[in-house]
């Protein structure tokens, strides 16, 4: 999870590249779009890949608010107007 770049590469690139810059991005890996709804806090802050890794490591709290999570739900965006 997260960035796997060497220290040398980190020195060559802008420091803010590794901060959570968009609420649409996963707050853990910063690479993929958030698509998991955590309940009961209703945060959509992690991607399905990171969620899978967290479940395997027996996580129980939301990464943003630390509230106990009882359900992780995959969200899929479906266009309201079909493409013809």
Question: In angstroms, how far is CA 55 from the centroid of its own chain?
Answer: 13
The confidence score (pLDDT) of residue 9 equals: 47
Residue with the two structure tokens 């709290």: 61
Pick 11 or 32 by higher pLDDT: 32
pTM here?
A: 0.66
Question: What DSSP state is assigned to residue 47?
Answer: -
Percent of the chain with pLDDT over 70: 70
**pLDDT at residue 12 greater than cutoff 70:** no
What digits encode the pLDDT tens for the residues 40-71? Answer: 999 999 999 999 998 899 888 999 999 999 99
Residue 21 in tokens:
């810059």
**Domain 7-74 CATH superfamily:** Zinc/RING finger domain, C3HC4 (zinc finger) (3.30.40.10)
């Amino acid at each position: 999870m997260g960035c796997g770049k060497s220290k040398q590469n980190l020195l060559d690139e802008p420091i803010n590249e590794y901060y959570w810059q968009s609420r649409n991005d996963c707050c853990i890996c910063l690479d993929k779009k958030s698509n998991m709804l955590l309940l009961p806090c209703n945060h959509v802050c992690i991607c399905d890949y990171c969620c899978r890794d967290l479940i395997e490591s027996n996580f129980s709290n939301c990464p943003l608010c630390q509230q106990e999570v009882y359900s992780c739900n995959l969200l899929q965006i479906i266009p309201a107007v079909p493409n013809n």
